[in-house]
Amino acid sequence: MTTPPALEASGAPVWGHRAELRAAADRPKGDCSDFARRGPDGIAGGDNRLVNPTIRIPAPEEAEAVTRMLCELDRENSTMMLEPGERSEDPRLLQEWLSVLHPDHHCYLVVFDGLRALGFVHAERGPFRRSRHSAYVVIGLLEEARGSGWGRRLLEAVDRWATERGVARLELTVMTHNAAAIGLYRRCGYVEEGLRRHSLILDGTPVDEFAMAKLLTPDR
């Protein structure tokens, strides 16, 4: 596994062909699997108005914005892996990681509103011949970016990355009380495969997780 534990056991950054993907990200409209799509009129409603959000691969120089977002995510909710303060706030770790990740093994995408990072998705392929057809997915959005379709767009971008590389299975785990995430995963074609009993300890209490997965090729 190339994911440094200091960053996050379940998600940090990149995958290349940056020029190609940035070009896609700059396109104003189009299929969301182009890795970039604006919300309706480029704006999400409510008090938290996102001016011009796009999905793209972060450059290593953007590690500070992404690290800030990841730390904020840890503070905002308890449905992801890391507790507040458990992640390193030093952007150099992420910067280094971003600069070496291989696009065939990692899909790391961030929702940016200008220079501000609002959320991310990370898919990482298995490291061995017998597991590299499969990728493990982690996703998280700051509260202000939720409920506007960005989660779905990020997962659709992962589907496209996977399809282009012959990745046939996407899998993840989710706490059984995380209704929003389970709703998103089902909406995007993931199904429950099993129950991981007491797989996490949340504030001193054991919590179950669903194992969920999506096959991108027909069942054999």
Ligand X SMILES: CC(C)(COP(=O)(O)OP(=O)(O)OC[C@H]1O[C@@H](n2cnc3c(N)ncnc32)[C@H](O)[C@@H]1OP(=O)(O)O)[C@@H](O)C(=O)NCCC(=O)NCCS
CA 96 to chain centre: 19
Site for ligand X in 105-134 (CB under 6 A): none
Of the listed pieces 14-22, 28-36, 47-55, 150-158, which binds ligand X according to CB under 6 A? 150-158
Q: Which is nearer to ligand X, 8 or 62 (CB)?
A: 8
Q: Is 126 exposed, middle or buried (0-12, 13-18, 19+ CB in 10 A)?
A: middle
By CB under 6 A, residue 37 contacts ligand X = no
Q: Which is nearer to ligand X, 136 or 150 (CB)?
A: 150
Residues ≥6 apart with Cβ < 8 Å to 32: 55, 152, 153, 156, 157
CB 75 within 8 A of CB 66: no
Q: Which is nearer to ligand X, 97 or 150 (CB)?
A: 150
Count of alpha carbons within 13 Å of 97, Cβ hemisphere only? 27
Of the listed pieces 45-53, 56-64, 88-96, 144-152, which binds ligand X according to CB under 6 A? 144-152
- Beta bridge partners, 169, equal 134, 215
From the list 136, 140, 144, 158, which residue makes contact with ligand X (rule: CB under 6 A)?
Answer: 140
Amino acid identity at 77: N
Q: Which is nearer to ligand X, 48 or 77 (CB)?
A: 77
CA dist 138 and 122 (Å) reads 5
From the list 49, 75, 152, 198, which residue makes contact with ligand X (rule: CB under 6 A)?
Answer: 152
Q: Which is nearer to ligand X, 76 or 104 (CB)?
A: 76
By CB under 6 A, residue 148 contacts ligand X = yes
CA dist 137 and 150 (Å) reads 15
From the list 50, 157, 181, 213, which residue makes contact with ligand X (rule: CB under 6 A)?
Answer: 181
Site residues for ligand X per CB under 6 A: 77, 79-80, 139-141, 146-152, 174, 178-181, 183-184, 187
